[in-house]
Amino acid sequence: MYSVTSPNISRTLRSLARTMPSVASGDVLQGARWNYPLIEPLKGDHTHDSDVFKAKVVSRKDARVVSEVPEWALIKKASNYEHAAKDLQREVEIYGLPGVASAGCFREMYEQIDDSTIALEWLDTTLAEVKYHPDMRIYRIIKSVLTAAFTSCVVLEDRKYVNTDYKPANILLSNINTDRVIAKVGDLGLVVPIGELFHAQPYAMRAPEVFLGKACTEPSQVWAVAAMLLCWIKPGVLGAWGCPFPVINNAWSMAKIQRLFPHWEIPTLEIAEDPNLKVAVKRAQSLSEKVPELQAILPFDDETKKVDMPQQLRDLLRFILVPDPEKRPSASSVLASRQFRDFKHYVSV
């Protein structure tokens, strides 16, 4: 299992998690760059353990560097959980990687206010808060989202890292009612070195090989981006949604992949070496064959025809969502692909 910190840092984080003070609306946080009066707390998708606030950005009179001041910022403060402090520290470290802070595909980090608090760029909304419906406005958003997400994959891969937390709530959007949609990837607390984190990714975005016990690698995050978009377009088609018992979330989610992609070949030799995985795979196969709710999921082409979408978008998703990671296109290949080019052309007409 991946660990981002040394034992000494871990002890520091445990102490920090016990002692960090809480903040509330009306408080003013003082940064080296700007001050941040907290306006209101934000709930997000209820999966984050950090405290998040919308804040006004105010110039400091004693600021050494005069720069353009944004109107708003997002303040993230690690809550009193050790893993929240660890994720925030990891996020700061990721922004420190060469090429990350300067990449336009990531939400900008304005500054680290203290050991448990960072100030980030404010964007208007998230993909999770936008509902899919078939029109050009939505297709422009999709084009921008895919461009930002796959570009972020390329940037991270160049540094030998992967993002294990692509999901609609972590895709930030602005100007969604214009021809110049801004899309950026946020929440980098679960960006980790390639091959060092297992059993990761949200169920709906989890790559087939990760369900089968493999670590998250470059192909895993490519799958996650496309799966994220598919689940946003057609909620519940992947992941644990509808699962009656949390204990079978893995098997339930794998069964959905099997229904969508009947050609998914599960390597029997590797399964035989892991008794727990063998049980989960057998359970997934049984669920896929016997549960009416899962049997209602059709193979990819037929299932996606239940939703009104351009054929170019369907072709693009099919091109990316290849169950075999060895045959799945890379992020850079997706960006340069004929399928993506065709979809962008459709949107621009």
Q: What long-range pairs does 170-175 form, CB within 8 A, spacing at least 24?
A: 170/126, 171/126, 171/127, 171/128, 171/145, 171/228, 172/107, 172/121, 172/123, 172/125, 172/126, 173/123, 173/124, 173/125, 173/126, 173/127, 173/130, 173/141, 173/144, 173/145, 174/123, 174/124, 174/125, 175/124
Q: Answer whether 240's CB lies under 8 Å from 203's CB.
A: yes
**Pair of tokens at residue 27:** 């408080």
Q: State mean pLDDT over 268-285.
A: 80
With a threshold of 0.95, does the pTM exceed it? no
Q: What integer pLDDT is reported at residue 24 of this predicted model?
A: 85
Q: What integer pLDDT is reported at residue 38 of this predicted model?
A: 96
Per-residue pLDDT for 349 more than 80?
no
Q: Which domains does the chain have, with CATH numbers?
A: 7-121 (3.30.200.20), 125-348 (1.10.510.10)
Which is more confidently placed, 15 or 39?
39
95-136: pLDDT as tens digits: 999 999 999 999 999 999 999 999 999 999 999 999 999 999
Q: What integer pLDDT is reported at residue 15 of this predicted model?
A: 46
Phi and psi angles of residue 229, each rounded to the nearest 5 degrees, phi first: -70, -45
17 — pLDDT class (breaks 50, 70, 90): very low
| CB neighbours of residue 174 within 10 Å | 16
Q: What integer pLDDT is reported at residue 8 of this predicted model?
A: 42
Q: Answer whether 42's CB lies under 8 Å from 24's CB.
A: no
Per-residue pLDDT for 152 more than 70?
yes
CA distance 85 to 5: 11
Per-residue pLDDT for 148 more than 60?
yes
Per-residue pLDDT for 21 more than 60?
no
DSSP code at position 330: P
Q: Answer whether 184's CB lies under 8 Å from 217's CB.
A: no
Q: State mean pLDDT over 258-282.
A: 83
30 CB burial (10 A radius; 0-12, 13-18, 19+): exposed
Q: State mean pLDDT over 14-34.
A: 73
- Widest Cα–Cα separation across the chain: 68
Question: Radius of gyration over alpha carbons of the chain, in Å?
Answer: 21
Reported in sequence order, the residue ranges of 143-229 that DSSP labels E, i.e. its strands, are 161-163, 171-174, 182-185, 191-193
191-235: pLDDT as tens digits: 999 999 999 999 999 999 999 999 999 999 999 999 999 999 999
Q: How far is CA 207 from the centre of its chain?
A: 13
280-338: pLDDT as tens digits: 899 999 999 999 999 999 999 999 999 999 999 999 999 999 999 999 999 999 999 99
Q: What long-range pairs does 149-152 form, CB within 8 A, spacing at least 24?
A: 149/105, 149/183, 149/185, 149/225, 149/228, 150/222, 150/225, 150/331, 150/332, 150/334, 150/335, 151/103, 151/105, 151/331, 151/335, 152/103, 152/105, 152/106, 152/185
Q: What integer pLDDT is reported at residue 273 of this predicted model?
A: 73
